[in-house]
Structure 1
Amino acid sequence: MNYRLENDDLCVEFTTRGGGLTSIRDKSGREYLWQGDPLYWSGQAPVLFPICGSLREEQAVTEDGKPVHMPRHGIVRKEEFKLEFMYKDKICFSIVENESMLSQFPYRFRLSITYTLKEKQIQVTYGILNRDTANMPFFIGGHPAFNCPLDSGEDYSDYKIVFEQEENCTVPAPVTETGLIDMGTRTLMLEGSDTLRLNQDLFKKDAMIFDQLKSRKIQYIHRQEQKGIQLEFPQFPYLILWSSNNNGPFIALEPWSGLSTCSDEDDVLEHKRNVLIAEPGLLEELSYTITIL
């Protein structure tokens, strides 16, 4: 099922399949959200839970010995969510585990996704409730992708990413064959700069994984015009930038709470970097915000 929120600035559409965004249009009709052309990537803005990225051979184990078997980005992004409520400026979807999910991730949970529309801003809030009797390790992330370029007659390289602060950081190497991360191989990406000019060669070897950023706000904007997207992610330690390696006309701006299994990590879920632990009956909430500029 598809739903819509609308105000004087934006028209935003959603689907119960994956509980995700399907359209963000301003009043001029400009579409900001990637529309999922399967020639490049059929997704749009999936929700990644209870892992972000990949496990080693799609397997892990919990500290108390429970097996975990999950594909890349977890177990909910292709599932049907339930509409919890819809108001003029807010909509909420939710999902609870089923037997198939329990066979992959051995915890009972409720995941809600609430979208709040205010002027040109969309706040995305994840609510993770542990419905089990044991502590639940988890990760969660967003994967919204945006058209790049935004308008016809423009080029991918007309756009840039501007970081909130000047950054000095390297990025680890993604291992494309496995979906994992080689922490021992790093590339200098920003050196005393707050700007990354976009070009599609950046993604020939997969994503850029920013695990050393000071910034918790970025802008994806045209290099001359002040049009584009602002992403604020104060609760997420990682930012992933990605596009398909066949010159996909989009850029994904992804706030993640965790990463794919790294070369210096074992396969115990609770040992992974920045693992979140929800106690039984405890609701954890994380939010990020998309603003149309």
Structure 2
Amino acid sequence: MRITLKNYDLEVCFKELGGELASIKDQDGIEYLWQGDAQYWSGQAPVLFPICGSVRNDVALFRPQGVGKIPRHGLVRKKNFKLVEQTDSLVSFMIEDTDEMYQQYPYHFRLEISYQLLGKKIIVTYRIHHLGEEGVMPFFVGGHPGFNCPLLEDENFEDYYLEFEQEETCSIPKSYPETGLLNVFDRTPFLNQERILQLDYDLFKNDAITLDCLQSRSVTLRSKKHNKGLTLHFPDFSNLIIWTTPNKGPFIALEPWSGLSTSLEESDYLEYKKQVRLLPVGQVAELGFEIEIL
């Protein structure tokens, strides 16, 4: 079932499968959200939990509970969420662990996702609850929204660029597409006192671009031919992943992640990974980002 919020500026749709965004249209009928195409990528805007990216061989270790098998991007992106609230401007979904999930990730949790439509903004909020009776719960969470690029029929992918909030000088870690892992110590210079990144498919010939050293906490997708575009604001997230498919998918994914795929030097214990959140029993963690249509 698709759920819709609408105001003067936008019409935004959601679906219970994955608890995710399904459509973002402006008042001119322009679709901003990638609609999925198996030729390139069948996804749209999956929610990543309790990992972002990959762990080694899809296996995570836990103390003292043992071993779990967690596929790339986690356990919930292909599960049905429960619609728990809908108003004129807000939609909320929820999912709790099942027996199957507990075997893979031995923690009792509730993940709530709310989407608020405010003018030209979609405000996305994740709330993670530790429902267990002891210990701390290690987790990561992130978004993976894909956006149409180009937005209009008479354009190309290369007509677009990303504009960062601040001038950036940074390097990026080496990625291994066959495993999904990283080497954060093997780095390539990427931006040098630049705010503008011209989009080109050659940027993605070695997989996604992992921006783990950005100063900016917002990035804007713009066209050189018109003023339509969008800004992703991600103040609560340390990492921005930029991705499209090697077969020249007509979309760009802008992904705020709280953590990264396992780096080669890291152990398989989830609680020891870089940037891991350790949530005490009975506590709630809240992180969010915003998509603003220009």
TM-score of the two chains, using structure 1 as the length reference: 0.98
Q: Counterpart of 2:10 in structure 1: which amino acid?
A: L
Matched residues in 1 for 2:228 and 2:265: separation? 40
1:36 matched to 2:54: no
Q: Which runs of 5+ in 2 are unaligned?
A: none
- SS of 1:78's equivalent? coil
Shift of 1:212: 0.5
Shift of 1:195: 0.7
Matched residues in 1 for 2:66 and 2:269: separation? 10
Shift of 1:65: 4.6
- SS of 2:57's equivalent? helix
How far does the alpha carbon of each residue in 1:155-200 deviate from its partner, in whole angstroms, 9 at most, with x for none? 1111001001001000011101111002232111100101100011
How far does the alpha carbon of each residue in 1:199-220 deviate from its partner, in whole angstroms, 9 at most, with x for none? 1111121100001000001101
1:155 matched to 2:148: no
Matched residues in 1 for 2:234 and 2:245: separation? 23
Q: Is the 1:22–1:44 contact (alpha carbons within 8 Å) kept by the matching residues of 2?
A: yes
Shift of 1:263: 1.4
Q: Is the 2:65–2:106 contact (alpha carbons within 8 Å) kept by the matching residues of 1?
A: no
Q: Counterpart of 1:165 in structure 2: which amino acid?
A: Q
- SS of 1:17's equivalent? coil
The equivalent of 1:206 in structure 2 is: 207
The equivalent of 1:217 in structure 2 is: 218
Shift of 1:226: 2.5
Matched residues in 1 for 2:32 and 2:226: separation? 15
Q: Counterpart of 1:160 in structure 2: which amino acid?
A: Y
- SS of 1:36's equivalent? coil
- SS of 2:114's equivalent? strand
- SS of 1:251's equivalent? strand
Does 143-152 or 197-206 show the bigger shift?
A: 197-206
Q: Is the 1:49–1:138 contact (alpha carbons within 8 Å) kept by the matching residues of 2?
A: yes
Q: Is the 1:137–1:270 contact (alpha carbons within 8 Å) kept by the matching residues of 2?
A: yes
Q: Which runs of 4+ in 1 moved over 4 A?
A: none
The equivalent of 2:246 in structure 1 is: 245
Matched residues in 2 for 1:64 and 1:269: separation? 12
Q: Is the 2:96–2:108 contact (alpha carbons within 8 Å) kept by the matching residues of 1?
A: yes
The equivalent of 1:88 in structure 2 is: 88
The equivalent of 2:103 in structure 1 is: 103
- SS of 1:212's equivalent? coil
Matched residues in 2 for 1:243 and 1:42: separation? 12
Shift of 1:264: 2.1
Matched residues in 2 for 1:33 and 1:184: separation? 34
Matched residues in 1 for 2:180 and 2:100: separation? 23
- SS of 2:268's equivalent? coil
Q: Is the 1:63–1:269 contact (alpha carbons within 8 Å) kept by the matching residues of 2?
A: no
- SS of 1:38's equivalent? coil
Shift of 1:273: 1.0
Q: Counterpart of 1:86 in structure 2: which amino acid?
A: Q
Does 41-50 or 184-193 show the bigger shift?
A: 184-193
Matched residues in 1 for 2:241 and 2:222: separation? 17
Matched residues in 2 for 1:63 and 1:255: separation? 28
| RMSD after superposition | 0.9
The equivalent of 1:141 in structure 2 is: 142
The equivalent of 2:229 in structure 1 is: 228
Q: Is the 1:75–1:101 contact (alpha carbons within 8 Å) kept by the matching residues of 2?
A: yes
The equivalent of 1:5 in structure 2 is: 5
Matched residues in 1 for 2:290 and 2:66: separation? 35
Matched residues in 2 for 1:225 and 1:196: separation? 17
Q: Counterpart of 1:47 in structure 2: which amino acid?
A: V
Shift of 1:130: 0.4
How many positions carry a matched residue from both structures? Answer: 293
Shift of 1:224: 4.2
Matched residues in 2 for 1:275 and 1:154: separation? 40
- SS of 1:286's equivalent? strand
The equivalent of 1:171 in structure 2 is: 172
How far does the alpha carbon of each residue in 1:61-116 deviate from its partner, in whole angstroms, 9 at most, with x for none? 12335212100000000000000000000000000010110111000000000000
Q: Is the 2:173–2:187 contact (alpha carbons within 8 Å) kept by the matching residues of 1?
A: yes
- SS of 1:202's equivalent? helix
Matched residues in 2 for 1:223 and 1:113: separation? 34
Pairing of 1:8-87 with structure 2 (within 5 A): 8-87=8-87
Matched residues in 1 for 2:132 and 2:229: separation? 42
How far does the alpha carbon of each residue in 1:215-237 deviate from its partner, in whole angstroms, 9 at most, with x for none? 00110111243221100000100
Q: Counterpart of 1:211 in structure 2: which amino acid?
A: D
Matched residues in 2 for 1:66 and 1:130: separation? 18
Q: Which runs of 5+ in 1 are unaligned?
A: none
